[in-house]
């Protein structure tokens, strides 16, 4: 935000307005960000603006850093949600997570292939969070291989797994109980995604996702009742 208030940034923003039609009618960065952050605006309009910013960020000319900063500010609500979920998953400390997300976001924007992407914001945010999760899982597996397994800590058949259990074991058990909805349950109940976000990811309607999640959680409750 401080960077966007400098005179040099304002000059570069004016240059962006002159060279990019989707940005031409915004008087200042605040007006642009208001349009991107207000939920009532059409997704197609927002996506066209983001495409224009990505193109400028990848141009390598004097306006590229300005466009990158605007992209980061445009994605800030989503990036902050990723940050909070990553801290909850214990991916790292608050400062480590924030730094990692900022670096990954900048790299994603600079390297985004617009020929292969339809929805800019959703793709960038999903990829960042996916990579953070995979990095944490990889580190957990390495740590597990380095440590000696305690036989007393290996769950017996039928024993409920803890929240720190192997993701592969957890997925296996969920598939056995709820079938194809295992991934849906993991994304919502463990990874912290909203049902609407998972609906977009899986290519389902929100109503269908909600029904499938409710059905799966009812099945899980029924199974857990059997162990009481």
Nearest to 217 by CA among 192, 171, 186: 186
Query: What pLDDT sits at residue 221?
Result: 82
- C-alpha to C-alpha distance for 194 and 58, rounded to whole angstroms: 31
Query: What pLDDT sits at residue 15?
Result: 92
Query: What pLDDT sits at residue 188?
Result: 83
Query: What pLDDT sits at residue 147?
Result: 54
Is the pTM higher than 0.85? The answer reads: no
Nearest to 209 by CA among 219, 197, 199: 199
In tens digits, the chain (228 residues) has pLDDT values of 677 778 888 899 999 999 999 999 898 998 999 888 876 667 888 999 999 999 999 988 889 999 999 999 999 989 999 999 888 888 888 888 999 999 999 999 999 999 888 889 989 998 898 888 887 777 666 665 555 444 444 444 434 444 445 566 777 878 888 888 888 888 887 777 788 878 877 778 888 899 999 998 888 887 777 655
């Amino acid at each position: 935000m401080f960077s966007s208030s400098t005179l040099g940034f304002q000059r570069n923003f004016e240059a962006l307005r002159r060279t990019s039609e989707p940005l031409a009618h915004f008087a200042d960065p605040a007006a642009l960000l208001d349009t991107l952050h207000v939920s009532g605006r059409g997704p197609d309009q927002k996506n066209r603006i983001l495409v224009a910013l990505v193109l400028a960020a990848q141009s390598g000319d004097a306006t590229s850093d300005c466009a990158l900063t605007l992209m980061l500010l445009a994605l800030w609500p989503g990036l902050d949600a990723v940050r909070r979920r990553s801290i909850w998953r214990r991916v790292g400390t608050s400062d480590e997570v924030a730094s990692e997300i900022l670096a990954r976001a900048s790299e994603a924007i600079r390297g985004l292939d617009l020929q292969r992407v339809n929805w800019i914001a959703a793709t960038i945010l999903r990829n960042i969070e996916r990579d953070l999760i995979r990095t944490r899982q990889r580190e957990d597996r390495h740590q597990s291989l380095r440590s000696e397994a305690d036989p007393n800590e290996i769950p017996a058949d039928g024993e409920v797994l803890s929240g720190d259990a192997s993701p592969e074991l957890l997925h296996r058990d969920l598939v056995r109980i709820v079938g194809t909805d295992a991934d849906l349950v993991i994304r919502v109940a463990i990874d912290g995604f909203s049902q609407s976000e998972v609906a977009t990811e899986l290519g389902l309607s929100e109503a269908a996702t909600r029904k499938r999640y409710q059905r799966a959680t009812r099945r899980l409750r029924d199974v857990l009742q059997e162990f009481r």
